[in-house]
Amino acid sequence: MPFIIAIDGPAASGKGTIARALAAHFGFHHLDTGLLYRAVGAKGGDPVAAARTLEKTDLSRPDLRSAEAGQAASRIAAIPEVRAALLAFQHRFAGQEPGAVLDGRDIGTVICPGAPVKLYVTASDQVRAQRRAAELGADPVLMLAELQERDRRDRERATAPLRPAEDAVVLDTSNLTITDAIARAVAVVDRARG
C-alpha cells in the first residue's frame, strides 16, 4: 500500500517547496494539486468540461504559475462540480507506489483523509506576501491584499474550505529557513513511518 503525505496550507506558505523536498527525499511521486485548478482555468471555456477532460500534459503549461492563474484557480476551486471531476485524478495519483506527496488546500480533509501524515504549512500574511512578491517581481502591498482576498475565498467556500485537518501537524514557516522547514517535515514523516 502506498504511503501518502497530505500537505495543505495557504499560498506562499512553503508547502510546495516542502512537498517537492519530501517527495525527493523519500522517492515518492509529487502532485501540486493547485496546478489542476490552474490548468482548468487556463484551458478556458466551461470549467466543469475542462476539469473532466484534464490530462497530465495540461499541467506543464508555462503560464500556470502566474498570479492571474492563481486567482482563477481559487475561483474555479469553489465550483463543486469541478472539485468532483478532479477527485478521481487525485485519488489515482495518490495510489502510486511507493508513495505520493500531494499538496493543496483540502488534501488532508477531503482528498486523502486517511493519509498517515498530514501537514498544514502556514506563515504570517506579511511573510507570505513578501515571498510571493519576490517570486513574481510584484509589489508586496498588492500581494498582501491579493493573498488575503484569496485566503478569505478559500476559507469561506462551501465545498472543501481551506483548514487544517484535525490530526494535521501545523508547521509555521514564518521564521524558518527552507532547510529547517524541510528538516521538521522529514522528522514528522520519519516518526509516522516508524
* Residues 188, 31, 49, 79, Cα dihedral to 10°: 30
Neighbours of 182 (CB within 10 A): 20
Report the binding-site residues: 9-17
Strand bridging mode 3-8 / 29-32: unpaired
C-alpha 88/C-alpha 14 separation (Å) is 26
Report the binding-site residues for ATP: 9-17
Name 134's Cβ contacts closer than 8 Å, sequence gap at least 6.
Answer: none
